[in-house]
């Protein structure tokens, strides 16, 4: 089984601060990490490989430093990694990014399943996975928490707020993976770390892909960011703690009535 995982290098948002003057992320001095959901996707890929055999290739589009993210994936057990990097890709929005990733996946050829994290923790759009599926013209399942394969069909548990759906899709397909205990990312091993260290990661530029220039980078990005702002903090709720549920409910009802909600 040929498995592709698309990963993004992101700033560690647990360490990010917002510049109050400009409302933008202060990226300076913030360590870069593999987008956490992508690690869940990679774990899913590694488990699929362990169950059904095959090969796991990780792809990342980004600047040369994104090689560090790819090396971390190799250390966890991915078989190969490719960096897609070119000045022409600079300024890509989700449309141009997914277009470029789809071209790279096409160049790789015969992929059975293409995994993404459900979203990146910096942009938070959750669009790149589904858009890539559209460019490739294959089925997509988002928010997966379990993936099983038999023959050319994948059976996927898709989480929703009410529970989960079970969806069957014909492969090849794009699947985006959530943070789940089923796919708790493994630690890199010593051997993986050493292999990753020695690995030469090939870089694919625009010239290596069959792409229309106008659909790349800033030119291929219709999204315009007007303003980024921190939403107002939600005010804290009220906890009604009384000796009995009866008392608490009575008080709650009174408050709701006062507020003309009921």
Interacting residues with other proteins (CB under 8 A)? 71, 75, 187-191, 193-194, 196-197
Task: Give the E-state strand segments of 7-135 in sequence order.
Answer: 9-11, 17-19, 24-26, 32-34, 55-61, 80-84, 113-117
Task: Give whichever of 33 and 96 is closer to other proteins, judged by the CB atom.
Answer: 33
CB nearer to other proteins: pick between 33 and 174: 33
Residues paired with residue 113 on neighbouring β-strands, in sequence order: 3, 173
Non-local (6+) Cβ contacts of 39 within 8 A are 7, 76, 117, 185
In whole angstroms, the minimum distance from the beta carbon of 205 to other proteins comes to: 25
Sign of the alpha-carbon dihedral angle for 39, 40, 42, 47 = positive
- Nearest approach, Cβ of 31 to other proteins (angstroms)? 11
DSSP states of 161-212: TTEEEEEEEESSEEEEE---GGGPPPPPPHHHHHHHHHPPPPEE-GGGS---
Least separation in angstroms between CB 188 and other proteins: 5
Q: Indicate the residue among 71 and 135 with the shorter CB distance to other proteins.
A: 71
Beta-carbon count within 10 A of 131 CB: 21
Minimum CB–partner distance for residue 192 and other proteins (Å):
8
Nearer to other proteins, 190 or 241 (CB): 190
For residue 114, the tally of other CB atoms under 10 A from its CB is 30
Least distance between other proteins and beta carbon 121 (Å): 18
Question: By C-beta, is 72 or 131 nearer to other proteins?
Answer: 72
């Amino acid at each position: 089984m040929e498995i592709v995982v698309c990963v993004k290098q992101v700033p560690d948002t647990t360490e990010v601060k917002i510049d109050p003057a400009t409302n933008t992320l202060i990226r300076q001095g913030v360590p870069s990490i593999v987008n956490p959901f992508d690690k869940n996707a990679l774990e899913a890929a590694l488990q699929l490989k362990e169950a059904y055999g095959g090969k796991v290739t990780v792809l990342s589009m980004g600047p040369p430093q994104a090689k560090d993210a790819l090396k971390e994936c190799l250390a966890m057990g991915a078989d190969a990694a490719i960096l897609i990097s070119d000045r022409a890709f600079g300024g890509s929005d989700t449309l141009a990014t997914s277009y470029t990733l789809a071209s790279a996946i096409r160049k790789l050829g015969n992929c059975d399943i293409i995994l993404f994290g459900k979203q990146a923790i910096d942009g938070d759009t959750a669009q790149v996975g589904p858009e890539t599926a559209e460019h490739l013209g294959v089925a997509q399942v988002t928010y997966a928490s379990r993936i099983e394969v038999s023959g050319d069909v994948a059976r996927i548990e898709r989480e929703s707020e009410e529970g989960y759906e079970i969806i069957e899709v014909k492969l090849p397909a794009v699947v985006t993976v959530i943070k789940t205990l089923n796919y708790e990312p493994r630690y890199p091993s010593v051997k993986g770390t050493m292999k990753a260290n020695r690995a030469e990661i090939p870089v694919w530029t625009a010239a290596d892909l069959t792409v229309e220039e106008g659909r790349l980078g800033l030119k291929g990005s219709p999204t315009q960011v007007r303003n980024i702002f921190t939403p107002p903090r939600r005010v804290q709720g009220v906890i009604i703690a009384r000796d009995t549920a009866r008392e608490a409910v009575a008080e709650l009802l009174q408050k709701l009535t006062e507020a003309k909600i009921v």
